[in-house]
């Protein structure tokens, strides 16, 4: 049995290219505890704004650090 490389669709290629551009320094994990309902509401709002939770939190932290 030979393993075949998994073909990447256009969507995945664009995501990988975008990640390469954005991630210029080493990324680390941060763990926070918050109520499940709050996380769910954050996720819904992020999706409505065509973003994700990671980007929302990174932008908030950048703004917090500036002040």
Q: Could you tell me the pLDDT band of residue 27, with boundaries at 50, 70 and 90? A: confident
What confidence score (pLDDT) does residue 26 get? 82
What confidence score (pLDDT) does residue 13 get? 64
Contacts of 8 (CB under 8 A, 6+ apart): 16
What confidence score (pLDDT) does residue 34 get? 96
Tokens found for residue 38 = 């709050």
- Per-residue pLDDT for 4 more than 70? no
Residues in the chain, overall count: 67
Q: Domain count for the chain, please give it.
A: 1
Query: What is the span of the domain harbouring residue 58?
Result: 27-67
In a domain, 18, yes or no: no
Calculate what percentage of the chain has a pLDDT beyond 90. 57
In a domain, 60, yes or no: yes
In a domain, 42, yes or no: yes
Query: What average pLDDT does the segment 1-28 reach?
Result: 66
């Amino acid at each position: 049995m030979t393993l075949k490389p998994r073909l990447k669709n256009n969507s995945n290629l664009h995501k990988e290219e975008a990640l390469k551009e954005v991630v210029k320094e080493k990324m680390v994990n941060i763990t926070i505890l918050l109520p499940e309902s709050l996380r769910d509401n954050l996720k819904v709002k992020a999706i409505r704004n065509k973003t994700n939770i990671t980007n929302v939190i990174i932008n908030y932290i950048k703004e917090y650090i500036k002040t």
